Amino acid sequence: MHIPDGYLSPSTCATLYAGAVAGWYGAFRRLKRTLLSRVVPLISVFAAFAFVVMMFNLPLPGGTTGHAIGVTIAAIVLGPAGAILAISIALAIQALFFGDGGITTLGANCFNMAIVGSLVAYASYRLIAAGASVASRRRIAAAAIAGYLAVNASAVVAAIEFGIQPLLFRDAGGTPLYAPYSMRVALPAMMIGHLTFAGLAEAVISAGLVAYLQVADPALLQATSGSRPGWEESSEAVRVTAKGQRRLWLAVGLLMLLTPLGVLAAGKAWGEWSPAEFVVAEAQSPVTAAGVPVGTVPAGMQRLANLWTAPFPAYAPTFMKSAAFGYFLSAMFGVGLLLSLSLLVQGYLARRRGTRYST
Amino acid sequence: MKRGNFIESSVAGFVRALGRVLMSEEIANRRGLLQALDPRVRLMGLFALVLAVVLAHRLTVVLTLFLAAVMLALCSSVSILLLAKRVWLVVLVFTGMIALPAIFLTPGTRVAAFAGGALPITAQGLSAAALLIARVETAVTFTTLLVLCTSWTHVLKALRWFCIPPEAITMLAMTHRYAFLLIDTASQMFESRRSRTVGHLPRAALRRMTARTAGVLLSKSIALSDEVYLAMQSRGFRGEVHILSEFHMKAWDYVGLLAFLGAGGIAVWAGR
């Protein structure tokens, strides 16, 4: 699945580099919340581990051998952000040092395997293993399925990248300039190998590693077990997050105080007319060009307009005399409502987590 | 592959990887055209040529760039036999396998046919296959020349000049260093297992054994990262990375850079 230089057009490479950079930035930001000096050696050594695991020849049913990527075990032990960086670094070393995968296609390879692979592996593992204890056999099955899905999801994305090349990049004579196969050929050609061998190799190594860790080092499975905060959510991270939350609340409070500024705005936003406002000539002018007769309200609009009556229409409760204070009160009410809902959801989740700890 | 031979093939793969590293370091220390240039010029110049290869739409231009790559290799004390075995043959087999069906599957002007006309060969298919193989061969040759003629520490140092975050470069450097330590560890684990194995193990047992070996390697990796972290702390590392850089551009380096960029620009223009 390591795409060499020359298979993808420069614009495809640039787009996928942009996607990969966004993924790296997000992962890096998430990891920076934890102690950077702890993250650097952990990611580096895990990338080295993934690099070595990619060299393991794994005997598969049917008499053949295959290689794993190591993306699933990285996502299970490090979480998605750590896995994205570790696998990307392993891929960069392979491209820069061993010529395995191209330089112009490094973004594409990282996007396919490190980003898509990590996210699919993590999401499917968490979904299947939800609620299971660290020692549960369900986690082994979850790792196997996650590995199989991750590799095949990466392969699908790579096949799509190949498949769009002849559609978009041909010369005047109709010769494909990059990967020459259409989606109809690229997708099955890519998937046959991954659905049978590569996906199986990742499934076997991921399940085997989780089974081994359950016995030998269960602490490594805690981070993404959902039962206890992992290393990504260490005390440092919580402290930094709390600081960020304080700033957020200050900003929300400031914005609430500034809400009366809204009454200074004149006119009506385009397309937000009520049926009464719709018949006004000013509101009609932009739509008369489309053939709507002046002074008429569309029947559908009229029918749906009375379906729901807001308690605070136009951010002005009917009992308020001052429009500015009405705006402020509406802001208080909106924020209070959202806060209550958020607290309710948090309370529910905390209760569920508490129940899981006690079992 | 014969049953049970996978331990040997894994060990052979590890030894091959270590051998490649030693050979790269040896070639990087030879006297040659590329080795004489500043590593930043090598990195930027060869990347520009790879980009030109990808951007060129004409087979003749890509083949000219391939000839330029061969000339560069000869002037940089890189054996043509080594390139042929390590790059050209491997790429030809892999990309050739991928490109071959395009000769028949690409719609266009029919130039020949097999199986009583059921398998038509088109001019567009031939062009597409030839362009793909030539492009991949040339791009991989340039990348291999960069890897062979530049020591890894210089590549990393040069990357620092291209706005790559220092944390990322530190991780690349550490990964490279520990990858070879772990390759050595894995190789020893497989060797010791091989020395204790009599006869053939069933494939299911071999799979379990491989997973367990990977598991032990993972535990060792995590323990290693803890040790590295403590070592970094003891040296006062707080997350800021400072890299010493003693690269100095000379007149020769500017000439080299201009030549690389000029060749790349001409290739892109001619290959439109």
B160, B183, B210, B219: best mutation site toward chain A, by most A Cβ within 10 Å?
A: B210
The candidate with the shortest Cα–Cα distance to B100, out of B121, B118, B114, is B121
Closest residue, chain A, to B211 (C-alpha): A208
Query: pLDDT tens-digit profile of A86-100?
Result: 899 888 888 877 777
What are the residue boundaries of the structural domains of chain A, listed by start?
10-233, 309-359
Q: pLDDT band at residue B68, thresholds of 50, 70 and 90?
A: very high
**In contact, A6 and B91? CB cutoff 8 Å:** no
- Spatial separation of the C-alpha atoms in residues A118 and A72, rounded to whole Å: 7
* Alpha carbons within 13 A on the beta-carbon side of B101: 11
Q: Could A5 and B143 be called an inter-chain contact, meaning their C-beta atoms sit closer than 8 Å?
A: yes
Q: pLDDT band at residue B3, thresholds of 50, 70 and 90?
A: very low
- Residues of chain A with C-beta less than 8 angstroms from the C-beta of B179: 47-48, 51-52, 90, 93
Q: Could A99 and B127 be called an inter-chain contact, meaning their C-beta atoms sit closer than 8 Å?
A: no
The candidate with the shortest Cα–Cα distance to A75, out of A158, A156, A154, A147, is A147
The candidate with the shortest Cα–Cα distance to A50, out of B210, B156, B218, is B218
The candidate with the shortest Cα–Cα distance to B207, out of A196, A69, A209, is A209
Q: pLDDT band at residue A69, thresholds of 50, 70 and 90?
A: confident
Q: Quick one: fold of A10-233?
A: Arp2/3 complex 21 kDa subunit ARPC3 (1.10.1760)
Q: Could A104 and B54 be called an inter-chain contact, meaning their C-beta atoms sit closer than 8 Å?
A: yes
Q: What is the pLDDT of residue B71?
A: 93
Q: Find which of A224-228, B103-107, B142-146 is predicted with most confidence, using mean pLDDT.
A: B142-146
- Residues of chain B with C-beta less than 8 angstroms from the C-beta of A51: 175, 179, 182
The candidate with the shortest Cα–Cα distance to A8, out of A115, A114, A164, is A164
Query: What tokens were used for A221?
Result: 């499975």
Quick check: B72 pLDDT over 80? yes
The answer to which of A115-119, A173-177, A302-306, B70-74 has the lowest mean pLDDT is A302-306
Q: Which of residues 96-155 of B touch A (CB under 8 A)?
A: 99, 101-102, 105-108, 123-125, 127-129, 131-132, 135-136, 138-140, 143-144, 147, 152, 155
Quick check: A171 pLDDT over 90? no
What lies within 8 Å, CB to CB, of A355 at 6+ separation is none
What lies within 8 Å, CB to CB, of A169 at 6+ separation is A9, A176, A177, A178
- Spatial separation of the C-alpha atoms in residues B224 and B180, rounded to whole Å: 13
Q: Find which of A7-16, A217-226, A331-340, B97-106 is predicted with most confidence, using mean pLDDT.
A: A7-16
A32, A45, A200, A236: best mutation site toward chain B, by most B Cβ within 10 Å?
A: A45
Q: What is the pLDDT of residue A111?
A: 93
Q: Name the strand (E) or helix (H) holding A193.
A: helix A183-193
Quick check: A240 pLDDT over 50? no
Query: pLDDT tens-digit profile of A262-277?
Result: 555 555 444 445 556 5
Question: Given CB atoms, is B50 within the 8 Å cutoff of chain A?
Answer: yes
Closest residue, chain B, to A58 (C-alpha): B207
A19 against A30, higher pLDDT: A19
**In contact, A118 and A150? CB cutoff 8 Å:** yes
Question: Given CB atoms, is B27 within the 8 Å cutoff of chain A?
Answer: no
Query: pLDDT tens-digit profile of A291-317?
Result: 555 566 666 656 556 655 655 565 566
- Spatial separation of the C-alpha atoms in residues A251 and B185, rounded to whole Å: 53
Region A201-225 average pLDDT:
84
- Residues of chain B with C-beta less than 8 angstroms from the C-beta of A107: none
Quick check: A250 pLDDT over 80? no
A24, A92, A99 member nearest B147 (Cβ): A99
Query: pLDDT tens-digit profile of B206-217?
Result: 778 888 888 888
Region B250-254 average pLDDT:
85
- Spatial separation of the C-alpha atoms in residues B178 and B17, rounded to whole Å: 13
The answer to which of A45-54, A301-310, B131-140, B223-232 has the lowest mean pLDDT is A301-310
Query: pLDDT tens-digit profile of B82-113?
Result: 889 888 898 888 888 888 888 888 877 887 77
- Residues of chain A with C-beta less than 8 angstroms from the C-beta of B228: 41, 44-45
Alpha-carbon gap: A97 to the closest alpha carbon of chain B (Å):
6
Q: What is the pLDDT of residue A359?
A: 41
Q: What is the pLDDT of residue B67?
A: 94
- Residues of chain A with C-beta less than 8 angstroms from the C-beta of B2: none
Q: Could B176 and A97 be called an inter-chain contact, meaning their C-beta atoms sit closer than 8 Å?
A: yes
Region B178-192 average pLDDT:
83
Q: Name the strand (E) or helix (H) holding A59.
A: strand A58-60
Quick check: B5 pLDDT over 70? no
Q: What is the pLDDT of residue B230?
A: 82
- Residues of chain B with C-beta less than 8 angstroms from the C-beta of A204: 207, 211
For CA atoms A17, A22, A24, A25, the dihedral sign is positive
Between A and B, how many residue pairs show a Cβ–Cβ distance under 8 A? Answer: 252
Query: pLDDT tens-digit profile of A177-201?
Result: 888 888 888 888 888 878 888 888 8
Closest residue, chain A, to B52 (C-alpha): A10
Q: Name the strand (E) or helix (H) holding A249.
A: helix A235-257
- Residues of chain B with C-beta less than 8 angstroms from the C-beta of A173: 108, 123-124, 127
**In contact, B256 and B37? CB cutoff 8 Å:** yes
Q: Could A208 and B214 be called an inter-chain contact, meaning their C-beta atoms sit closer than 8 Å?
A: yes
Q: pLDDT band at residue A115, thresholds of 50, 70 and 90?
A: very high
Region A135-149 average pLDDT:
92
A66 against A217, higher pLDDT: A217
Quick check: A11 pLDDT over 80? yes
Which pTM value belongs to this model? 0.70
Quick check: B241 pLDDT over 50? yes
Quick check: B63 pLDDT over 90? yes
The answer to which of A1-5, A161-165, A221-225, A306-310 has the lowest mean pLDDT is A306-310
Q: Could B124 and A174 be called an inter-chain contact, meaning their C-beta atoms sit closer than 8 Å?
A: yes
Alpha-carbon gap: A26 to the closest alpha carbon of chain B (Å):
14
Nearest 5°: phi and psi at B124?
Answer: -65, -40
Give percent of chain B with pLDDT exceeding 70. 93
Q: What is the pLDDT of residue A352?
A: 58
B102, B175, B233 member nearest A181 (Cβ): B102
Alpha-carbon gap: A354 to the closest alpha carbon of chain B (Å):
30
Q: What is the pLDDT of residue A304?
A: 58
Average pLDDT over chain A reads: 74
A28, A57, A98, A183: best mutation site toward chain B, by most B Cβ within 10 Å?
A: A57
Closest residue, chain B, to A48 (C-alpha): B179
Q: What is the pLDDT of residue A238?
A: 44
Q: What is the pLDDT of residue A315?
A: 59
Q: What is the pLDDT of residue B62?
A: 92
Region A330-337 average pLDDT:
63
Quick check: B66 pLDDT over 90? yes
Give the 3-state secondary structure of residue A267: coil
Quick check: A338 pLDDT over 90? no
Q: Could A10 and B167 be called an inter-chain contact, meaning their C-beta atoms sit closer than 8 Å?
A: no
**In contact, B255 and B37? CB cutoff 8 Å:** no
Closest residue, chain A, to B237 (C-alpha): A37
Query: pLDDT tens-digit profile of B6-44?
Result: 666 767 777 777 777 777 777 888 888 888 888 889 889
For CA atoms B134, B135, B139, B144, the dihedral sign is negative
ipTM reported for the complex, 2 dp: 0.78
Q: What is the pLDDT of residue A306?
A: 61
Amino acid at position A237, single letter: A
- Residues of chain A with C-beta less than 8 angstroms from the C-beta of B182: 45, 48-49, 51-52
B6, B218, B238 member nearest A37 (Cβ): B238
